[in-house]
A and B are shown apart, each in its own frame.
Chain A
């Protein structure tokens, strides 16, 4: 479980996060949603430590991360897997080398065990026999799947996904969402997904946090989104034609 308390972040004179608190539960996908520029990615980066919040605390289990010393931060980070918006695969390494990378650097596992683990993870994301391909030789959806394989290869306890569906067609998006859901449930990990894709919200939105202009305006799950009672959230949800039709039918 991850708990955040009163996270604030300002860039120059722009206050991006204005005191966000919340809990991300284990074993189900936790979504941070909102329009572009509302601070979703900044919040995610504050949680994983890529951006230092001006105020606030982040707890991984019972360990406070924001003010932790270097060793504790490293210890926590080594339990984190992250899927970046663009995949962030190392472009000079093959698919296999990319997935094996965390094992090479962070563990002392024997080579054959590492290879078995890599093959298992690649198989898990549906990319068996793609080991020798370079990232530039595979599609965007496949790159995202390699990113997921790399994020889980080290048996991470926490999985973060920054816009996992950006740049993907709807079908591939659904596959990625399903994969994230399956992995979260199967390994009972804490997963936090930043997205503005309504398909993801409806598909895997077990615990949703809606951000608006740096504030958390709504929290709930996919079954509650039709009757949030929050105008800004309704504007976001029903900006989508399909959602408007659904609302009418409802």
Chain B
């Protein structure tokens, strides 16, 4: 509970004694490039194969001749939009971006770079963390959209190349009974997950004490706690919004 309270105080401290809008704008753009562009390759690779594997496994399980083949791509579509793209990519994102944030801030803490900012009269938490949170919240939904599209493309290629489904049936299944709200729901989830990953990882890194071993521990704790927070938030959002 103490840690949770400290986390909320930390979040509050991001909004006091701020620097100029111009400063944050530049830093946020830098973070967007680092977080967004830097994650495209991994997100693309994972989502493409995730879509491909989901298609093959769904086809493998749908052996009843009464169920039409287009159900395969319908299942792939809904699974991808509702869960695989926002949540699974969120877990991977926590591993890549969360650990990087925590270790970066942790190293800054133990090498007194954060103290140097404080001595200059700069709110170090706000200066360092707010752009990371903004950058993540801006970029992660875009990565989720990309992941969703690539997962469906991966599913299409795998399905058609292995002949478990025809191209026409795949596209028909993708469009069949489509509920736009699932996309809205996925985007809401992606905003929440992005905030959780960035804020928890930054918090763990910012309050690192000790040396190199503790930086590693902060990084591990950041990933573990971000993943737990994502899974809890996933359940809560499903319960509340679906």
Contacts and interface: CB of A to CB of B under 8 A. Distances in A.
B184 interface: no
Interface string A55-91: 0000000000000001001111110101011101111
B115 A50 contact: yes
Contacts of B116: 82, 84, 88, 90
Given A70-B16, A78-B121, A91 B115 contact: no
A122 B19 CA distance: 26
Interface in B1-30: 16-17, 19, 23
B137 to A, nearest CB: 22
A250 to B, nearest CB: 39
18 contacts: A49-B118, A50-B118, A50-B119, A74-B121, A77-B121, A80-B119, A84-B115, A84-B116, A86-B111, A88-B113, A88-B115, A88-B116, A89-B113, A90-B108, A90-B116, A105-B23, A105-B122, A154-B120
Interface of A: 48-50, 70, 73-78, 80, 82, 84-86, 88-91, 102, 104-106, 154, 160
Contact of B119 (A75, A82, A105): A82
Given A80-B119, A106-B121, A74 B17 contact: yes
Nearest to B23: A105
A44 to B, nearest CB: 10
B: interface residue count bin: 10 to 19
Contacts of A106: 120-122
Main secondary structure of the interface of A (DSSP, over half): mixed
Nearest to A84: B112
B111 A88 contact: yes
Nearest to A73: B121
Given A80-B119, A80-B120, A70 B113 contact: no
Contacts of A76: 121
Contacts of B120: 77-78, 80, 102, 105-106, 154
A106 B119 CA distance: 12
